[in-house]
Structure 1
Amino acid sequence: MSDPSDGPAARSWRAQLEAWAIPEPILRAAPANPYAFPPGTITTPTVDPLTTPTGLRVLERLAPGESLLDVGCGAGRISGAFTDTFRVVGVEPRDGLADTAAERGIDVHRGRWPELAPAVGTAPVVLSTHVLYDVQDVGPFLRALHDAAERRVVLELTATHPWSDTSPLFRRFHDLHRPDGPTVELLGEVIEEVLGVTALMEGHTRPSGRYDALAELVAHQRQRLCLTADHDPAIADALAEVVVTDDHGRVRMPDQPLTTLWWDR
């Protein structure tokens, strides 16, 4: 019998993620880690997490005092909002983010999923946000989420790969074509293939992370592009038509469509 965790949809997911790897010559020349994020953009929520489609799907299946398991909790930007009413258990491999999550009242297990799944145990609702595009071996990851959930699994991710907004910039500065996938629709196919369930989906948007000045946004995009500071004027020019500026002069990239997926046990 074939392994559903390594079916055609799961293999396509893995191959399309592998295609996003930055070519080695570009990566070797990078003056900084292109995958690092400024702390403010990954620690501060831009909307109340309890009011989003993701938050509402969680609240539908939890009673006050019950446990929420957040796999890949990061700094607790989303699940930290639940700690006033629920016990929140997190899984996070990055110590700096785990420290911040703990300060927000999350009981953090430091390490990787699904390796930590047996030690973490189960919870009525399992949440995982903006993690799946970093998971090439997606079948075992999803299976462990499913097995840990007593009532519901809730996922949130961008509708397309979160680096999709860099595709025009990589073409401009490196003459490099970036992939079109994977997409949230393919993830739905993987879920059905691996678990035999059909995930419900709801599309929505949320403001992207804000920067106090254009120079900060340009510096972050330069880092992602593996470029040096002398490219900043050209990067600013490339971003001129897409940058969003609020009434306080803070800037951000355009919102990327998000999708909440969920299924019940």
Structure 2
Amino acid sequence: MDATALSDPLARWRAAVEAWRPPGHLRSPGGGPVPRPATVVRGMDEVDLPPGSRSHERAVQALPEGGTVLDVGCGAGGASLPLAGRAGLIVGVDPEEHLLEALRASGRHLGVRVETVRGRWPDVAAEVAPADVVVCHHVLYGVADLGPFAAALTARARRRVVVEIPARHPLHALNPLWERFHGLVRPDGPTADDALAALRAAGVDPRIERWTDRGGWGRYPDLSALADRVRRRLFLPPERTAQVADALRELGVDPARPRFPGTEGRTLCTLWWEP
């Protein structure tokens, strides 16, 4: 990377995100990420909201009763469903149809109107009407071209944009396993501070709040299930699942309460701004 790029926060962000792409030679049968779970909730008591979520608090502050929430990279609605008791309409954007269907089903159970748009942001931004609050949780680390992405979030928000990301890349905790199984040293960044600098370079001026995630994200029924998920992330074949389980124990994972490495007590960051 040349000196000009190194001094540009947006260029540094792009390079750091692209560095996380798995090496092509490691792609093998049985490896790679598993589909994101399409959980359907049937009552507000089932909605998963981390205790003390600053992201939820900042969204509620700006959302009028009966207002509209736009959830970008919505998955099954982890960012928007906790707002169902206040929102009149939730609009979800995601490239995976099975997740959009889960969000629509949850909306029916919770009694809130849900509309969905299938596609990637900001490619489909023109198909989406402005909303009172735009939420975007756990997406930025997969967005190399952050400037247009953030600009489209801002353009669709009438009152506020609320973004949530971990302080470090969510797969950073697996770096020792990449070196153990593949002899590869994986990137140390990007971080939430890098995202903040890139957003400011793009003309956005977010405020940032850091808080501790004490929720239940990353839990698995047993160590074998967690090891299978991790070995897919490492692009290892199924027959190496037991070796991954051993490595997870050495990383400090408790077999009695298996959690994805790096998720327990992690620092989350809420970035929020007004259009």
TM-score (norm 1): 0.88
| Letter matched to residue 165 of structure 2 | L
Residues 208, 269 of structure 2: 8 Å contact kept: no
Q: Does 1:263 align with 2:273?
A: yes
Tell me what 2:221 maps to. Answer: 212
SS of residue in 2 equivalent to 1:14: helix
Q: Paired residue for 2:56?
A: 55
Between the aligned partners of 1:59 and 1:19, the Cα distance in structure 2 is 35
Is the counterpart of residue 152 in structure 1 residue 160 in structure 2?
yes
In the other structure, the counterpart of 1:129 is: 137
Q: Distance in 2 between matches of 1:153 and 1:74?
A: 18
Query: Which residue in the other structure is 2:91 paired with?
Result: 89
**Percentage of matched positions with identical amino acids:** 36
Instruction: Give distance in 2, aligned partners of 1:47 and 1:227.
Output: 31
* Structure 1 counterpart SS, 2:126: helix
User: Where do 5+ consecutive residues of structure 2 fail to align?
Assistant: 1-6, 108-113
259, 262, 271: which is aligned to 1:252? 259
Q: Is the 8 A contact 1:50 1:56 kept in 2?
A: no
1:166 Cα deviation (Å)? 1.2
Q: What's the CA shift for 1:20?
A: 1.0
Residue in structure 2 matched with residue 232 of structure 1 by the alignment = 241
Residue of structure 2 equivalent to 1:4: none
CA distance in 1, matches of 2:158, 2:12: 29
> Counterpart of 1:31?
29
8 A Cα contact 1:49 1:81, kept in partner: no
* Contact 1:191–1:199 (Cα < 8 Å) also in 2: no
Give the aligned partner of residue 3 of structure 2: none
Let me know the Cα RMSD of the aligned residues.
2.2
For the residues of structure 2 that align with 1:200 and 1:250, how far apart are their CA atoms? 31
Unaligned 5+ segments in structure 1 are 1-6
Q: Distance in 1 between matches of 2:121 and 2:237?
A: 35
Map of 1:98-247 to 2, 5 A cutoff? 98-105=100-107, 106-205=114-213, 206-241=215-250, 242-244=252-254
Give 1:36 shift.
2.2
Matched positions, count: 253
For 1:179 and 1:38, locate their aligned partners in 2 and report how far apart those are by CA, in whole Å: 23
1:158 deviates by 1.3
State how far apart, in whole Å, the 2-side matches of 1:175 and 1:190 are.
31
Tell me, what secondary structure is at the counterpart of 1:186? helix
SS in 2 for 1:172: helix
Inter-CA distance 70–115: structure 2 relative to 1 (3 Å threshold): same
C-alpha displacement of 1:47: 4.2
Structure-2 residue corresponding to 1:66: 67
What letter corresponds to residue 252 of structure 1 in structure 2? R
Task: Give the Cα–Cα distance (whole angstroms) in 1 for the partners of residues 164 and 191 of structure 2.
Answer: 12
Q: Which secondary structure does the structure 2 equivalent of 1:153 belong to?
A: strand
Matching of residue 12 in structure 1 with residue 12 in structure 2: yes
Counterpart residue identity of residue 205, structure 2: V
Q: Report the more deviating stretch, 172-181 or 18-27.
A: 18-27
Q: Is the 8 A contact 1:192 1:199 kept in 2?
A: no
| Deviation for aligned residue 1:43 | 6.9
Q: For 1:251, give the aligned amino acid.
A: P
Q: Cα 1:163–1:37, aligned 2, differ >3 Å: closer, same or farther?
A: farther
- Describe the SS at the equivalent of 2:216: coil
Change (3 A) 1:196 1:128: closer
Q: Partner amino acid for 2:271?
A: L
**Deviation above 6 Å: which 4+ runs of structure 1?**
42-46
Deviation for aligned residue 1:223:
0.9
